[in-house]
Copies of this chain bind each other. A is one copy, B any other.
């Protein structure tokens, strides 16, 4: 009953098999391995972007921080959602990698509308040289609260950003879950909707540790390479990153895994739906469910071995008296249906 995070589960066996298969003979380092050529070609094909610049890094924070720094100037501010990973979970990595840019929080939680973005972008820079200057816009898809931007919402956001001359970066740590849920193509969810750069996350969806960063306009490709090296994120034995990504792309493992994770979350939501005392923050749209539950139910689940995180409260809170507590339940590709069902059963009491 493991709902703590989609990075707590195992990698898909095919990913490790690919790493083992790559472990033969000598190969040029630092991204010049032959496997990477294939990965680049595959990702360009998948995104229908034959000119795109494609790079691999090993962590989602590296992908976000390096991509944003490449799109940003130190005197600018990045527009992001209030609970964006870049704001809450990266220990100031965006500020560090950008050389001191600011983050401006838009909207109320994990999503913002084009109108909210416009208002925020208009509010900046009326102070001329004194205020932070407008910088890139970043959205997370699927969001930190398990929701989705529709293609129309993305296009509207991009239009606002571009109207101010600023690019859009998509934090795609759970990109695959979003594509699976929306039933669209990667191209539709990115450049066709105005997204300028995206991370295509592997780590949370069955890889060991790999994220692709894709710039649809390759103008800043060399700058990104220098930033990656300077950030110590260029792997000497790069072939093991390439091998992971190659396996992940092979026969659309990325999509298969994402569908499994989303299906698990839907099963969980269906199971909990209508259970006395359980209230969803909102209907889950990808692979994460946020639900309030009575403390007694939390205690029962945790005692039975369920693993998940409370949201905005410390774990100890379940032992205190009080009202219901919000929790996050993330389903990964490997989660057995039986575990989900057992969880629901225990919740039902």
Contact = CB atoms under 8 A, between A and B. Distances in A.
Copies of this subunit: 4
Nearest to A15: B23
A138 B254 CA distance: 43
Contact of A89 (B28, B130, B313): B130
B93 A230 contact: yes
Contact of A60 (B16, B28, B203, B236): B236
Contacts of A19: 16, 19, 208
**Secondary structure call for the A interface:** loop
A69 B175 CA distance: 34
B29 A96 contact: no
A37 to B, nearest CB: 17
A27 B77 CA distance: 30
A101 B30 CA distance: 22
Contacts of A132: 91-92
Interface string A122-134: 0100110111110
A90 B28 contact: no
A6 to B, nearest CB: 9
A186 interface: no
B102 A92 contact: yes
Interface stretch (A221-229, A258-266, A281-289): A221-229
Given A75-B91, A88-B130, A99-B100, 4 more contacts: A30-B130, A74-B99, A97-B232, A231-B232
CB-based closest 3 A-B pairs: A95-B100, A7-B236, A62-B232
22 contacts: A7-B236, A58-B58, A58-B235, A59-B232, A59-B234, A61-B234, A62-B233, A66-B232, A74-B95, A74-B96, A90-B230, A91-B226, A91-B230, A92-B101, A93-B229, A93-B231, A95-B100, A95-B102, A99-B99, A208-B237, A231-B231, A232-B233
